[in-house]
């Protein structure tokens, strides 16, 4: 799969999950949030961006990445990914409205 397709699929998946997110915590190379009763975490693992649920599992979302970071700015989350061939992609996600834990 080419990088553009991989990136677009990642964005679709993240946006679907992001619409239900709350209790969001942003660090440079880690994003964690709640969806229903599950803690979702995106972290870098070797050259992968992986997703875990409740600290378990290994779901590679992006491969062959050199660097990535999340930045929380005003009312949005900015994601920047640099692949191993130096191709760079970025995207912005609106921060979900604050909601109480169900």
Predicted pLDDT at 100: 53
Q: Decide if 102 is inside a domain.
A: no
Q: Decide if 17 is inside a domain.
A: yes
pLDDT tier at 96, thresholds 50, 70, 90: confident
Domain region containing 66: 3-94
pLDDT at 97 over 80: no
Q: Decide if 99 is inside a domain.
A: no
Residue 95 DSSP symbol: P
pLDDT in tens, 22-70: 999 998 789 999 999 999 999 999 999 999 999 999 999 999 999 999 8
Q: Are residues 62 and 81 in contact, defined by beta-carbon separation less than 8 angstroms? A: yes
Dihedral angle over CA of 70, 6, 62, 17, nearest 10: 60
Q: Decide if 101 is inside a domain.
A: no
Residues in the chain: 102
Higher pLDDT, 96 or 12: 12
What's the total number of domains in the chain?
1
pTM: 0.85
Q: Decide if 100 is inside a domain.
A: no
């Amino acid at each position: 799969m080419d990088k553009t397709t991989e990136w677009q699929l990642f964005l679709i998946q993240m946006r679907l999950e992001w619409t239900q997110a709350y209790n969001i915590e942003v660090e440079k190379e880690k994003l964690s949030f709640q969806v229903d009763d599950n803690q979702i975490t995106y972290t870098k693992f070797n050259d992968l961006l992986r997703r875990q649920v409740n600290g378990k599992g290994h779901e590679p979302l992006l491969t062959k990445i050199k660097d990535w970071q999340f930045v929380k700015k005003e009312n949005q989350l900015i994601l920047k990914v640099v692949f191993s061939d130096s191709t760079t992609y970025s995207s912005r996600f609106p921060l979900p409205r604050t909601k109480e834990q169900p």
